[in-house]
Amino acid sequence: MDKILQAAQNHKKPESVKKYQYGTAGFRMNANILDSVMFTTGILAALRSKYLGGKFIGIMITASHNPPQDNGVKLVDPMGEMLEQHWEAYATTLANAASPEVLVKEVRELIQNLKIDLKVPSNVIVARDSRESGPVLQQAAVDGLVAMEANVKQFGVLTTPQLHFLVRNHNTGKPKVETSYYEYFSTAFKEIYQLIDGDSKPPIDIVIDAANGIGAPKVEKLFDEYLKGKIHSYKVINDKYTHPETLNSHCGADFVKTNQQLPQGISAIPDKLYASFDGDADRVVFYFVNSANKFQLLDGDKISTLLARYFIKLVEQTGLKLSVGVVQTAYANGSSTNYLTQNLKLAVECTPTGVKHLHHVAQKFDIGIYFEANGHGTVLFSENLIEQVSSSSDEHAFKKLYYFTQLINQSVGDAISDLITVLLIISDLQLTPTEWNSAYADLPNKLAKVIVKDRTEFKTTNAERTLIEPKGLQQKIDQEVKKVQLGRSFVRASGTEDAVRVYAEAKTQEEVIKLSEAVCELVK
Ligand code: 16G
Ligand code: ZN
C-alpha cells in the first residue's frame, strides 16, 4: 500500500472535477483532467486480474470518435468483453478518491470486500489509439500498475478491437503478438475467398476513410502484407494518424452517419462503395452515391440486415437446425426491423444502447447478429454451431460458415473485421451497392440533442423506448407521434455527453422535422 500512497502523490485528483463516472464506454473526457483516472484505473485493472486468478486484463486508452483534445480509458475482461458491470462502480469509486490517503483506504476496502488474494500475480496489457495525449496518459496507467506490482505488457498503438483480440488470445493460449491478429483474420478471409465461385466473383474494390486514426496503418498492413492480390483495388484516405489534431475532423464513421454526407477527401464515383471507420476502428459504416449523385448511407442496420440475409441462406444450405437472431437498439430504423421480421421472418430483439447490452442478448442465438445503427457491431456464433460446422465436411456451405466464425471478431465489434466480412459477402452475393441498399428504404429520421438542466431526471424502460420520468412526458410524446404517419420517437439521456437525445422517425422528411421539433420542445 505504501507504493500506492507514494505513487498517488503524482496523480492527484484535480479539485475542479466534481465527479468521474465510468460510463458506457469507460471514462471519457478532456485529456487534461484524466491523469488521476488513468492511475486509479491501472490499480483497478491489477485488482481485477488478481481477482480472476491472474487472468490477463486489458486497458485501452481511447476516446473513439470524440474530438482530438479528448481521451478516455476502458477495461477489457479476459475473453475480450467489456468490464463486468459491478466493477464499473469500483472504477468510479477509485477515480473519485479525494486524496492519496482516501484512495488507499478505498483500495483496502475493495480487497477486503472482494476477498482478493494479493499474492496472486496480476497480468495486464495496455494499448492506446493515436491521440497526442496517449503516451502521457498511458504512463499514468502504468504507474498505477507498477504500484500494484503487476506484470505489464505495453502494445503501443492499436485499434480497440485489436486490444480486445489480444486480451482474449492471452487468456486462451493463442499467439500473443500483434501480427497474430492479421494472420488470424487473413487466413479466414483467404479460405472463404477461395470458396466463392471464382468465375463470377466480382473484384473487390473499396475506398476507406480512416478518420485520420489508428485504423489507417492497421488496415493497410492487413491488405498490403497479408491479403495481397485478394483485394483488387483499395485506397485509404484520411490516413494522417501521425497528425492527431486531424482525428475525426470532418471525417470518420460518426461524422458520416450524423451528417449523412461524404467525409472530406472523397468525390464519389456513382455506385462505387466507400467505408468510414471511427477513430479507434471499432465502428464502420458504408455508403455510395447513386446514379442521381445522391448520397446513400449503408449504416449498422444495413450491415446487420445484409449479414442476416446471407447467414440464413448459408444455414439453409447446410441443412442444420440453427437459430438466427438480430439484436438492435431503439435507434434501428423502423424499416430495418420490418424487413427483418416480415421479409426474413427473423427473431429481432431490442436492448438499451451500448455494446455490452447487445452482445449479451446476441449470445442467446446460434448466430447472433448485433449492430447499433452507428456501425458498431459483430456476429456471435455459438459453441454448438462451431462444433457442427467444424466437422471435416467438404461441403462449401459448412466450410464457409466455419471460416466466417473466425473472420468475424468474436470479442467485440471491429471495423476491419466487419469491413472484410461485408466485402466477401457482397462479392459472394454479387451485389452492387445499389442492390445492397435496395433491400428496404430507410424511413426519414432525425437525431437531435437537447441540453437540459439535469439529464438524470430522464429515466426510461422498454429498452429506452419509453420514458417513465419526468412523469407525464411520455404521454405527450405519444400524442405528437400520432400526428404523423409511421411516426416513432423516443428520448433518452446520453451516456457519454451531458445532454438528452431525441430520436424521431416518420414517413416523410417534413413530418420527421415536425415530430422532432415538437418532441424537443417538450423535453426543454
Ligand atoms: C458508447 C457506446 C456506443 C454507443 C454510444 C452511445 C460502447 C463500447 N460504446 O460510445 O456503443 O452507441 O456510447 O452514446 O458501448 P450516447 O449514450 O451518448 O448516445
Ligand atoms: Zn470507437
CATH number of the structural domain spanning residue 260? 3.40.120
Q: What is the mean pLDDT of residues 402-406?
A: 96
Of the candidates 31, 50, 39, which has an alpha carbon nearest to the alpha carbon of residue 6?
39
Whether pLDDT at 454 is above 90:
yes
List pLDDT tens digits, range 310-359. Answer: 999 999 999 999 999 999 999 999 999 999 999 999 999 999 999 889 99
| Residues 292 and 346 occupy one common structural domain | no
CATH number of the structural domain spanning residue 329? 3.40.120.10
**Residue 64 C-alpha to ligand 2 middle, in angstroms?**
4
Q: What is the DSSP letter of 457?
A: G
| Residues 165 and 40 occupy one common structural domain | yes
Residue nearest to atom 11 of ligand 1 (CA): 354
Pocket test for ligand 1, best of 22, 27, 248, 353 (most atoms within 8 A of CB): 353
| Residues 329 and 453 occupy one common structural domain | no
**Residue 269 C-alpha to ligand 2 middle, in angstroms?**
27
* CA 78 from centre of chain: 17
Cell of 13: 485528483
- Any ligand 1 atom below 6 A from CB of 290: no
| Residues 362 and 391 occupy one common structural domain | yes
- Any ligand 1 atom below 6 A from CB of 495: yes
Pocket test for ligand 1, best of 83, 376, 497 (most atoms within 8 A of CB): 376
**Residue 191 C-alpha to ligand 1 middle, in angstroms?**
34
| Residues 260 and 352 occupy one common structural domain | no
Whether pLDDT at 443 is above 80:
yes
- Any ligand 1 atom below 6 A from CB of 455: no
- Any ligand 1 atom below 6 A from CB of 448: no
pLDDT at 89: 97
pLDDT at 412: 94
| Residues 402 and 260 occupy one common structural domain | no
Q: What is the mean pLDDT of residues 403-430?
A: 96
- Catalytic site positions: 64
Q: What is the mean pLDDT of residues 4-18?
A: 95
- Any ligand 1 atom below 6 A from CB of 372: yes
| Residues 287 and 309 occupy one common structural domain | no
In terms of pLDDT, which residue wins out, 113 or 258?
113
Closest ligand to Cα 25: 1
| Residues 20 and 140 occupy one common structural domain | yes
- Any ligand 1 atom below 6 A from CB of 496: yes
Whether pLDDT at 199 is above 80:
no
- Any ligand 1 atom below 6 A from CB of 25: yes
| Residues 289 and 220 occupy one common structural domain | yes
Of the candidates 141, 153, 122, which has an alpha carbon nearest to the alpha carbon of residue 54?
122
Sign of CA dihedral 253, 255, 257, 260: negative
Q: Which of 260, 278, 296 is the C-terminal boundary of a domain?
A: 296
pLDDT at 248: 97
Q: What is the mean pLDDT of residues 483-503?
A: 94
End-to-end, the C-alpha distance of the chain in Å comes to: 48
List pLDDT tens digits, range 238-253. Answer: 999 999 999 999 999 9
pLDDT at 498: 85
| Residues 290 and 304 occupy one common structural domain | no
Closest ligand to Cα 285: 2
| Residues 449 and 385 occupy one common structural domain | no
pLDDT band at 201 (very low <50, low <70, confident <90, very high): confident
CA dihedral 182, 188, 190, 194 (to 10 degrees): 180
What CA–CA distance (Å, rounded) separates 65 from 192? 31
What CA–CA distance (Å, rounded) separates 241 from 68? 11
pLDDT band at 497 (very low <50, low <70, confident <90, very high): confident
Q: Which of 136, 160, 176 is the C-terminal boundary of a domain?
A: 176
CATH number of the structural domain spanning residue 470? 3.30.310.50
pLDDT at 390: 86
What CA–CA distance (Å, rounded) separates 434 from 351? 30
Closest ligand to Cα 62: 2
- Any ligand 1 atom below 6 A from CB of 494: yes
Q: What is the mean pLDDT of the chain?
A: 96
Whether pLDDT at 167 is above 70:
yes
Task: State how many domains the chain has.
Answer: 4
List pLDDT tens digits, range 81-118. Answer: 999 999 999 999 999 999 999 999 999 999 999 999 99
CB distance 107 to 46 below 8 Å: no
- Cell 504507474 locates to 143
Whether pLDDT at 462 is above 90:
yes
pLDDT at 392: 65
DSSP 51-109: HTTT-EEEEEE--TTS-TTEEEEEEE-TTSPBPPHHHHHHHHHHHT-SSHHHHHHHHHH
- Any ligand 1 atom below 6 A from CB of 405: no
Q: Which of 382, 413, 437 is the C-terminal boundary of a domain?
A: 437
**Residue 353 C-alpha to ligand 1 middle, in angstroms?**
6
pLDDT at 197: 75
**Residue 460 C-alpha to ligand 1 middle, in angstroms?**
16
pLDDT at 517: 97
Cell of 43: 490499480
As beta bridge partners, residue 324 has 367
Owning domain of residue 74: 2-176
| Residues 362 and 502 occupy one common structural domain | no
**Residue 354 C-alpha to ligand 1 middle, in angstroms?**
5
- Cell 504512463 locates to 139
Closest ligand to Cα 23: 1
Give the number of the atom of ligand 1 that is nearest the alpha carbon of residue 331: 12
In terms of pLDDT, which residue wins out, 355 or 137?
137
Q: What is the mean pLDDT of residues 40-53?
A: 98
